[in-house]
Amino acid sequence: MTRLKRIFSLSKRLALSILRGDSEDVIDLKSHFDEEDEAYILKNLRDKKNVLRRRKLRKEFDRSKKQDLRKITGAYNSNFQFSFILRIAAVFIGILGLTYFFYQQPAPGYTSEYKLPMDAISLRLEDGSFIEIDPANSTEIKNSKGMTFVNQHKGVLKYKDNARVTSLIYNELYVPNGKKYRVYLADGTQVSLNSGSSLRYPISFIKGHPREVFLKGEAFFSVAKDSTQVFSVISNEMGVKVLGTKFNISSYPGDPDISTVLTEGSVQFYNTNDPNNGSILTPGYMASYSREEGSFDIKEVDVNLFTSWMDGELIFKSMSFENIIKGLERSYGVEIINNDKFLDKEIFTASFNIEIESITNVMDYFKLERPFSYSVSNKKIIINP
């Protein structure tokens, strides 16, 4: 109760400050509230009974405020009094708005991005709220209105085409380092997302609109065939258009190249800055876009080197240790700090299975080839000469 009185006291000070015409207290409002104040407010905002009471109170306030304003302004000089009433209304709207800005939380089961655990798979809804996805669960996922819009079957999200959806509504799936996840889009397209990746997509595809999704990181696509609607993947500077096929795209931030490897069918790849000038890729070939040079390169490859991650395999072929570290960090969900700068330039060919071999096993294997020392603390590995 003491803390509640303190919060009301601060709100009253804010109201008086606004009515006097002062603005500095409003700008510095958050400095008046400490962490305990915030915890107290959040606890009450999340309470289900309090949520229902606030909704009822807000409806009653909305119904009565116009009537009350008419009564008050009709009893006194309208010009002066209405201006005064507007200032009072601004005070209460300001208090409600600032409370919402600092302390508002989505409905139970939903949260904001910064509140999610760093290692959580999460789904961002159209309204900006987030749902944490537990890969071990099988459940129906509902939106903030209580309507089921996707089914979760353990390691897979499954959407169904909904003819009642007449506009493009997007979800975005985030997969952190150390995790993988799959999603079946509404048209039947299957997407496997690798560690440290995200995919933005419509919950239902609309006739007359291209099937278009947006990728950051790496994913393998098995695109459902539809001769009437092209399927496009936009991944930074590279775009890929298909009607129905299977391919892998890798576009991690910080990597020098964006690459597409085709396993089945055919695709057209292009620079997103020049979408009308594309080239055709055939199975067994890789198209790479150099971020530095701004150009494409096509070459024949062993597709297993680029798709084995779906089975837990990490394959590094003639790769520098500096670049191998990036793959290990994403796949194992760890941070690796290498203080042995000569080791960075060493070239290795190696393969590991993240479902069988731990990150310490991997470090020990590299030590056999090129001696160094390392220490492990939580999820941080420090390498020294």
Q: Are 231 and 189 in contact (CB under 8 A)?
A: yes
How far does CA 343 lie from the centroid of its chain? 34
| pLDDT tens track, the chain, 385 positions | 444 445 555 555 555 554 445 544 444 444 455 555 555 555 555 555 565 665 555 555 455 544 444 433 444 344 434 344 344 444 443 444 434 333 333 333 444 444 566 788 999 988 888 888 988 888 888 776 777 778 888 789 999 877 677 788 899 999 999 999 999 999 999 999 999 999 999 998 888 788 999 999 999 999 998 878 889 999 988 999 997 899 999 999 888 899 999 999 989 999 988 888 888 999 999 999 999 898 899 999 999 999 999 999 999 999 999 999 999 999 999 999 999 989 999 999 999 999 999 999 999 999 999 999 999 998 999 999 9
- Tell me, what's the pLDDT at 144? 67
Strand 257-264 versus strand 285-290 pairing type: antiparallel
Question: Which CATH number applies to 113-305: 2.170.190.11, 2.60.120.1440, 3.40.50.720, 3.30.200.20?
Answer: 2.60.120.1440
Residue with tokens 């795209």: 249
Which DSSP category does 111 fall into? B
Nearest C-alpha neighbor of 170 from the set 154, 186, 156, 182: 186
- Tell me, what's the pLDDT at 140? 85
- Distance (Å, rounded) from C-alpha 238 to C-alpha 233? 8
Other C-beta atoms within 10 Å of 40: how many?
Answer: 18
- Tell me, what's the pLDDT at 36? 57
Strand 231-235 versus strand 211-222 pairing type: parallel
- Distance (Å, rounded) from C-alpha 53 to C-alpha 80? 34
Tokens standing for residue 320:
């520098």
CATH of domain 312-384: 3.55.50.30
- Tell me, what's the pLDDT at 131? 87
Nearest C-alpha neighbor of 222 from the set 251, 204, 196, 249: 249
Q: What is the pTM of this model?
A: 0.68
- Distance (Å, rounded) from C-alpha 182 to C-alpha 157? 7
CATH 2.60.120.1440 residue ranges for the chain:
113-305
Tokens standing for residue 375:
């220490």
How far does CA 374 lie from the centroid of its chain? 33
CATH 3.55.50.30 residue ranges for the chain:
312-384
- Tell me, what's the pLDDT at 206? 85
Strand partners, 25: none
